A and B are shown apart, each in its own frame.
Chain A
Amino acid sequence: QKEVEQNSGPLSVPEGAIASLNCTYSDRGSQSFFWYRQYSGKSPELIMSIYSNGDKEDGRFTAQLNKASQYVSLLIRDSQPSDSATYLCAARHPNAGNNRKLIWGLGTSLAVNP
């Protein structure tokens, strides 16, 4: 059974700190990974996607992928109260064929305290 695991949290960090969100996946064949942010009562919003080992940076966000250890992480630098949300991790297996289905984690709740 292909799975994506996340710590449900809540993860609480002070404003200005680095928030580190982690995600592990069970299927070694997974190749594309996605981080979504979901505010309460809103729809998921894509933040980052990554498929190569290493780091990918976009503004205050850095996604890190380590395929050997089967984990993906999202770092949020200079955390702001507006970053308080649930962060969803998703993975796509290449053998999913042309159906583009994703495997979703349950999400980590992040609270940034002023």
Chain B
Amino acid sequence: DAGITQSPRYKITETGRQVTLMCHQTWSHSYMFWYRQDLGHGLRLIYYSAAADITDKGEVPDGYVVSRSKTENFPLTLESATRSQTSVYFCASSEASGASSYNEQFFGPGTRLTVL
């Protein structure tokens, strides 16, 4: 049982190129999230999804696009990569449950992206 996986783990690209980061979870969690983590800024939410075909913006969505056609997959696309998008990207998931649940988020291993 892989849990939540991300690919690629490392990516180097050039300014202006399109890049897609993949996230796959095997828990059938309803919620999925994309974060970026940078020194001095901590974890910042890019986009999240409550279910297939339901997505919404987070704190720093500009320059990113997401889709979620299947519950288990939540790809993140940088349409035209910029140097400021050099970062570590984490995908996370959380199950949909009642108000009494803690609604913990579980993280994938991350993708380290460098934009030259």
Contact = CB atoms under 8 A, between A and B. Distances in A.
B104 A49 contact: yes
Given A43-B107, A43-B108, A43-B110, A99 B90 contact: no
B58 A34 contact: no
Contacts of B110: 42-43
Given A44-B90, A99-B50, A101-B48, A32 B107 contact: no
B34 interface: no
Nearest to B29: A100
In which size bucket is the chain A interface? 20 to 34
A69 interface: no
A101 B58 contact: yes
B67 to A, nearest CB: 18
A106 B42 contact: yes
B109 interface: yes
A93 B48 CA distance: 16
Given A42-B109, A99-B50, A99-B56, A34 B43 contact: no
Given A98-B50, A99-B50, A100-B94, A44 B31 contact: no
A94 interface: yes
Nearest to B31: A100
A27 interface: no
Interface string A33-69: 0100000001111100101000000000000000000
Interface of B: 31, 33, 40-43, 45, 48, 50, 56, 58, 90, 94, 96, 99, 102-110
21 contacts: A32-B103, A34-B104, A44-B90, A46-B105, A46-B106, A49-B102, A49-B104, A92-B103, A98-B50, A98-B96, A99-B31, A99-B48, A99-B50, A100-B50, A100-B103, A100-B105, A101-B33, A101-B45, A101-B48, A102-B105, A106-B40
For the complex of A and B, the 9 pairs showing the least CB-CB separation, nearest first, are: A49-B102, A43-B107, A106-B42, A104-B43, A100-B31, A43-B110, A100-B94, A100-B103, A44-B107
Given A92-B103, A98-B96, 8 more contacts: A32-B102, A43-B110, A44-B107, A88-B42, A94-B99, A100-B48, A101-B33, A106-B41
